[in-house]
Amino acid sequence: PSVTYIEHNGTEYRIEVEDGLSVMRGAVDNGVPGIDGDCGGECACATCHVYVDEAWLAKTGTPSEQEASMLSFAATAQPNSRLSCQIAMTAELDGLVVRMPEAQH
């Protein structure tokens, strides 16, 4: 399945991310700027913060309690904020669009 990552400046990256890998891993392994993944996907750093495109919100689901608590510390959090290490790719999510917050570029 593919993910389109959109940088704050509008640059788009369409990346094939293996089934089961996280949206964060897909960005980090392919050098997409704006997603750092400092904690390695442990839901403990919030450097993988993204905004999920409105059209995809129903499919990506809702954050876990721990994720929501990490997001509450992010100054730029919005209702469609997620930690991209907590979104695992599936065939269902093929075509997913996420945007990176300004602070992370």
> Given the rule CB under 6 A, which residues bind ligand FES?
24, 37-39, 41-48, 83, 85
Kindly tell me which of 10 and 20 has the beta carbon lying closer to ligand FES: 20
Kindly tell me which of 46 and 97 has the beta carbon lying closer to ligand FES: 46
67: left (phi over 0), alpha (psi -120 to 50) or beta: alpha
Cα–Cα distance between 70 and 90 in angstroms, integer?
A: 24
The minimum distance between CB 34 and ligand FES, in angstroms, equals 13
Quick one: how far is CA 77 from the chain centroid?
12
Tokens of 51: 């905004």
The minimum distance between CB 87 and ligand FES, in angstroms, equals 10
Kindly tell me which of 85 and 89 has the beta carbon lying closer to ligand FES: 85
Cα–Cα distance between 64 and 102 in angstroms, integer?
A: 24
Nearest residue to ligand FES by CB is: 85
